[in-house]
Structure 1
Amino acid sequence: MSNNHETLSAEEQQELLEKYDPESNTRNLKGVMGWVIFFGLLAFSLFQLFASISQVFPRQILLSVHLGFALSLIFLLFPARKKNLKKGKIAWYDLILATLSIVVGAYWPIMQETIVNRVGIMTTMDFAVGLLAVLLVLEATRRAVGLPITIIAVTFLLYMYYGRSMPGFLSHRGYDLEDIVKTMFFTGEGILGTPLYVSATFIFLFLLFGSFLVKTGVGQYFNDLAVAIAGKRTGGPAKVAIFSSALQGTISGSSVANVVTSGSFTIPMMKKLGYKKEFAGGVEAAASTGGQLMPPIMGAAAFLMVEFIGGVTYWEIAKAAAIPALLYFTGIWIMTHFEAKRIGLRGLTDDEMPNKKEVFKKIYLLIPILTVVVLLVSGMSVMRAALWSIVSTIVVSAIRKDTRIGLKKGIEALVDGARTALAVAAATACAGIIVGVVTKTGLGLKLANGLVDLAASLANTADTKLLLTLFFTMIASIILGMGSPTTANYVITSTIAAPAIILLGAPELAAHLFVFYFGIIADITPPVALAAFAASGVSGGEPIRTGFNAAKLAIAAFIIPYMFVLSPELLMIDTTASELLWIIFTAVTGMIAIGAGMIGFWYRKLNWIERIISVIGGLLLIYPQITTDFIGLAIFVIIFVIQYMTREKGDRKLANA
């Protein structure tokens, strides 16, 4: 393929990641400490693989060692302040913090029998180590994940302590420091709780899987495959961005990382073709953020849902998320198509296209991803499916010399996977603090009742009450999701915001997906839209305007969650095959109408009345009820016919513009 697109260099990509993604702010260490980090990360991966294969470690010991590895390596890799990043050496206090982290990680394995025999009674040493664990988790999270989630966790701890002073329904009996420490480190409800358990089992293995996939060159292959399939279409580079970002999302747990890696390739192509900077950045930001909503992995949040929602299998979650994800990407695809038609953009030329024959020769690189899906659908446990998928990646890579994973690449994959897991471990440990507070104080139910009561005070009917509750929950989820990585994002929103929707009778899975969606699209919702800001760094566009373009393109993410709570058939809950086909048909048709209305172009420019009617018709089509479907379909046909019959008039206007 031609190299005339001004893609970002590796150094420029790293600079952007460091600016917008705290997980990338690591020291570049050489010499003895560089080797210490290398072997520490390698040991972390080997321990996790051994633990997953043998399953010999009790839960508390597994989580404690996982935490000890993660915290100690974070303090060695992540400086306390960004300005110390380039110094390439470790501060004396970071060495002390890393040593204390090892002590915390070793405490449960050494003292487990004694701790259990005391039946909840804490000694002075227990208290000191537990308090140290809380403080280390908060500081490690601040460094590796960012300030927002750390502030939330500290606020929740203060709430737990000052419960008696809280106003109204937020009031509770309050807990002293000893109770807080006991909950946070010596029960299964705090740091060593469900979020960290999922990090230490399912998530770590899938991060390793993604790391091994990257070593085969699959990331670049996603871009090449996307260009081969969509490059020559109208506005081709924008569609390449959508397709490649959806694929990248299957192995990436970060919207920002997705933007920088695939966007450094797609955004220059879009700009060269004629898209405005802010629109090009918005396309990439919306598509990359959507990668976190894409089954089968969903930014690893799907595995957390299995643990948080009782009686629901992984396959049911992935299946339920399929149609919303399809509609999300369909909406972006349609709007980029109409925008390209509106401003008269072409696709890529033959010279700019890759050799399709060569691209499709490497289609086997997608086999490991299909392996994951097949194994999970067959009923295999998530851990076993992840392990076999890693094996399949190594086997598949051997087909060609340029994709082969030898010993050197295999070791690098283990090290890279562990490095990626550090921020996830910190985020889930910190999220465990939040979950512990919510569980101990009953805050989740208090907030749920508070939101429902607020909605009831403003509503006249049950339907209005539900819609207002959904709206308030949406706002809460977007605020809570700002600046948080996918896994922590889901833990926080599902713990704090989802109970309000469940309280009004919505299916639990629909409520969890609702808050998950809005937590994720915080990444493209101004004023704090990290994925959009990263995209503007690549495109050179204005950040807030890029965010608004991304939010407009991702309009499906603001609509679909309401629809699947009001009508769970969109999640394939209690529906037949024929009903499902009809739902998909009407929903996709609805997205075409909404896309045309949002962009203001179909076969010709739409006036403002046509735009409003088109959006209304689209909404009616997406809502899965027979009456609304037929009304929406009638509106769609009328608008389509008017547009088609008057298209020549629109063409003449465009030609004279």
Structure 2
Amino acid sequence: MSETEAKTTMVMEESAKLDLDDLMRRYDTESRFRLLSGWQGKMVALLAVAMSCFHFYTSGFGLLLAQMQGAVHLAFTLALVFLLYPANSKQSKTSGIPFYDYILAGLGVASSLYLVFFFNDLVMRAGLPTTTDLVMGFILIATLLEATRRISNPILPCLAIAALLYCYFGRYMPQMLAHRGFSVARIVNHMYLGTEGIFGTPLEVSSTFVFMFILFGAVLEKTGLGRFIIDLSMAIAGWSTGGPAKVAVVSSGLMGTVSGSSVANVCTTGMFTIPLMKSVGYQPYFAGAVEAVASTGGQIMPPVMGAGAFIMAQFLGVPYIQVAIAAIVPALLYYFAVMVQVHFEACRLGLKGIPWSQLPPIWPLLKSKGFLLIPLVAIIYFLLAGYTPLKAAFNGILVSFVLSWLNKETRLTPDRIFQAFEAGARGAIGVACACATVGMVVGMGTLTGLALRIAGAIVAAAGGSKILTLIFTMCASIVLGTGLPTTANFIVTSTMAAPALFQLGVPPMAAYMFVFYFGIAADLTPPVALAAYAGAGIAGADPMKTGVTAFKLALAGFLVPYIYVYSPMLLFIDVVPLEMIQAICTALIGVFLLAMFTIGYFKAPLAWYMRLLAFGGALGLMIPGTASDLAGLAVLALIYVVQRIKEKKISTETAL
């Protein structure tokens, strides 16, 4: 057996040893569901498929009124959560549903559908709720908080409870936070029967755009798109220096276009790419970090970004495609930074690519399964053609159904469609719970006016300084992101922190994108870096070391948001063509210098003072302005000359 064949065998054996389910359960709370069988398993599967069928039908043939659509969506969600997720996550592998979870599921469904069955009566007596209305509202709030605790973690429901208590006890708060206080009836009425509480914008988006795009991703996955993406990435980048790491970057970025979870992305693509990276010489912690950074970036990769992007479009009142277009340049800078860093690391270690003989040939691959990418192209076309995201996702699923029959291996048979619809519903209920629960936090802000007070406090604490306000907002987004799902994190920070940026004249798109980026970055920020820890679990590496390395690799992702706040043209805001071209080119060169700083290599190892110089040059190129750009280019030229001389010296010494 040749050395390369031995490596391939080792990768396959190491992948086989890894238990994907155990990894997902360890790092992803949404994966800690009961393993049901028999009639209970069939019942839950049918319920999940019914949920997908409801959304698929309404998206194609007409939605219900927003509040009714959200109520049906939430009824399905609560039923599935209580039937699938035990009260104690340690019991997640036990089969069987206890009687009290049937009761909780029934209460959640009844309190949700109460809005549907008595909708006209509720509208007629708006503002004058009956005792029954309030009791049903209280039941829904209680069951929703428990469901969110089960599928997410205690932080989000605790935040919602704190918001509810603040609504009631506001009169006893310090002067800056004080308000007149509201009765329990008024709070329940606002959260349950109003349009700015549980059934506000977040749940409205979850029950329409978000669900359909999650279903679209589930359908594509059943066609074999995931395996095709990895094979295509191998064919494109596997041969180059440090090829396996570049495969991880490309495949995870592509997978991120249809996956809304960084942890799930790490576990699916990382099962193959991390052992492959280790087999060619990358350190385990570095391999885990690369996969984590690449997978997390998938949530900012157009055209299908994380659920937060749909909510952002709704908050901004703009078409979703406008948000996707605004994300193009930041995503390009993020992935370019990661790609350059893995290249420098491979050069530093003297790693090679994978021999051509072991790579899938690209043209036969594209001929046999290239059509699997057409639905993604179709989505972009539909969005650009003016279709709503909802209709675009519906049409994209139909295109997937038709195209899948071009190849026997990819055909969406009735059984596969059933599995896709079940997976789509399961994948959406976590987002639904987060959106509904965080709706109460938003409702608290509108009821008490706290959001404006917080914005004013942030600006006052920063002394009116834009850079300090940005730093405070970044810290708030990361801290919240360590405990909240990305969607919930974005909604909270966009409601509480982003208004502070508005007061300083930051364009709304840039402000929302700023908090969106840092909410996602929390998955890579120790001490709670779930995506990095999942990568460490697959790599068999130290979690903290993997997290710190991931933070370094994602450094560009921490700097890019500051750039587009100061240069909104990178988000296609008030574009001046020549200035925008200059800003993009210099930002790319700046990211190149930043990679030298983080890895400490360019043609030869960089001395510590040269690394600091590279960091300064990177900042100069990223900061808008011709003078700073010229200074950054001068630094690049100096480093090139010094390192070229050093490279020749090393080559001469090696030859001797």
Q: How does the TM-score come out when normalised to structure 1?
A: 0.96
Alignment of 1:172 onto 2:172: no
1:131 aligns to what SS in structure 2? helix
1:143 aligns to what SS in structure 2? helix
Task: Please state how far the C-alpha of 1:344 moved relative to its aligned partner.
Answer: 1.1
Task: Please state how far the C-alpha of 1:25 moved relative to its aligned partner.
Answer: 1.0
Correspondence for 1:199 among 196, 206, 214: 206
Relative to 1, partners in 2 of residues 1:119 and 1:642: Cα closer, same or farther, differing over 3 Å? same
Quick check: 645-654 or 600-609, which moved more? 645-654
State whether residues 63 and 69 of structure 2, in contact with CA within 8 Å, keep that contact through their aligned partners in structure 1: no
Aligned letter for 1:510?
A
Q: In structure 1, what is the equivalent of residue 426 of structure 2?
A: 419
Task: Please state how far the C-alpha of 1:46 moved relative to its aligned partner.
Answer: 1.1
Q: In structure 2, what is the equivalent of residue 526 of structure 1?
A: 526
Aligned letter for 1:593?
L
State whether residues 234 and 337 of structure 1, in contact with CA within 8 Å, keep that contact through their aligned partners in structure 2: yes
Q: 1:234-313, aligned counterparts within 5 Å?
A: 234-310=241-317, 312-313=318-319
Relative to 1, partners in 2 of residues 1:343 and 1:546: Cα closer, same or farther, differing over 3 Å? same
Q: In structure 1, what is the equivalent of residue 100 of structure 2?
A: 93
Alignment of 1:25 onto 2:32: yes
Q: 1:556-571, aligned counterparts within 5 Å?
A: 556-571=556-571
Q: In structure 1, what is the equivalent of residue 356 of structure 2?
A: 350
1:324-362 Cα offsets, whole Å, 9 max, x none, are: 110001111111111111111111123432233432222
Task: Please state how far the C-alpha of 1:60 moved relative to its aligned partner.
Answer: 1.4
Distance 2:570 2:198 in 1: 35
Task: Please state how far the C-alpha of 1:169 moved relative to its aligned partner.
Answer: 1.4
Correspondence for 2:329 among 302, 323, 332: 323
Q: In structure 1, what is the equivalent of residue 625 of structure 2?
A: 625
State whether residues 483 and 523 of structure 1, in contact with CA within 8 Å, keep that contact through their aligned partners in structure 2: no
Aligned letter for 1:286?
V
Relative to 1, partners in 2 of residues 1:127 and 1:580: Cα closer, same or farther, differing over 3 Å? same
State whether residues 33 and 93 of structure 2, in contact with CA within 8 Å, keep that contact through their aligned partners in structure 1: no
1:29 aligns to what SS in structure 2? coil
Task: Please state how far the C-alpha of 1:205 moved relative to its aligned partner.
Answer: 0.6
Task: Please state how far the C-alpha of 1:654 moved relative to its aligned partner.
Answer: 7.9
Distance 2:169 2:228 in 1: 54
Q: In structure 2, what is the equivalent of residue 459 of structure 1?
A: none
Alignment of 1:601 onto 2:573: no
1:472-502 Cα offsets, whole Å, 9 max, x none, are: 1100000111133232222122112211111
1:300-335 Cα offsets, whole Å, 9 max, x none, are: 22211111113x322221111111110001111111
2:327 aligns to what SS in structure 1? helix
Aligned letter for 1:275?
Y
Q: In structure 1, what is the equivalent of residue 408 of structure 2?
A: 401
Task: Please state how far the C-alpha of 1:624 moved relative to its aligned partner.
Answer: 2.6
Q: In structure 2, what is the equivalent of residue 536 of structure 1?
A: 536
State whether residues 259 and 534 of structure 1, in contact with CA within 8 Å, keep that contact through their aligned partners in structure 2: yes
2:195 aligns to what SS in structure 1? coil
Q: 1:443-592, aligned counterparts within 5 Å?
A: 443-456=450-463, 465-592=465-592
Relative to 1, partners in 2 of residues 1:123 and 1:655: Cα closer, same or farther, differing over 3 Å? farther
1:573-612 Cα offsets, whole Å, 9 max, x none, are: 1113333322221111111111011111001111111111
Task: Please state how far the C-alpha of 1:245 moved relative to its aligned partner.
Answer: 0.6
Correspondence for 1:188 among 195, 204, 209: 195
Task: Please state how far the C-alpha of 1:652 moved relative to its aligned partner.
Answer: 5.8
State whether residues 222 and 420 of structure 2, in contact with CA within 8 Å, keep that contact through their aligned partners in structure 1: yes
1:30-72 Cα offsets, whole Å, 9 max, x none, are: 1111111111111111111222222252121111111111001
Q: In structure 2, what is the equivalent of residue 65 of structure 1?
A: 72
Distance 2:173 2:264 in 1: 40
Alignment of 1:333 onto 2:333: no
State whether residues 481 and 493 of structure 1, in contact with CA within 8 Å, keep that contact through their aligned partners in structure 2: no
1:175 aligns to what SS in structure 2? coil
Alignment of 1:36 onto 2:36: no
1:390-445 Cα offsets, whole Å, 9 max, x none, are: 01111221111101112221122111111111111111111111111111111111
Alignment of 1:437 onto 2:437: no
1:249-284 Cα offsets, whole Å, 9 max, x none, are: 111110100011011111111111111111111111
Relative to 1, partners in 2 of residues 1:650 and 1:564: Cα closer, same or farther, differing over 3 Å? farther
Distance 2:257 2:643 in 1: 38
Alignment of 1:382 onto 2:354: no
1:362-395 Cα offsets, whole Å, 9 max, x none, are: 2221111111111111211111111110011112
Q: In structure 2, what is the equivalent of residue 77 of structure 1?
A: 84
Distance 1:501 1:614 in 2: 30
Quick check: 274-283 or 631-640, which moved more? 631-640
Distance 2:236 2:63 in 1: 47
Q: In structure 1, what is the equivalent of residue 224 of structure 2?
A: 217
Task: Please state how far the C-alpha of 1:243 moved relative to its aligned partner.
Answer: 0.5
Relative to 1, partners in 2 of residues 1:334 and 1:168: Cα closer, same or farther, differing over 3 Å? farther
State whether residues 69 and 105 of structure 1, in contact with CA within 8 Å, keep that contact through their aligned partners in structure 2: no
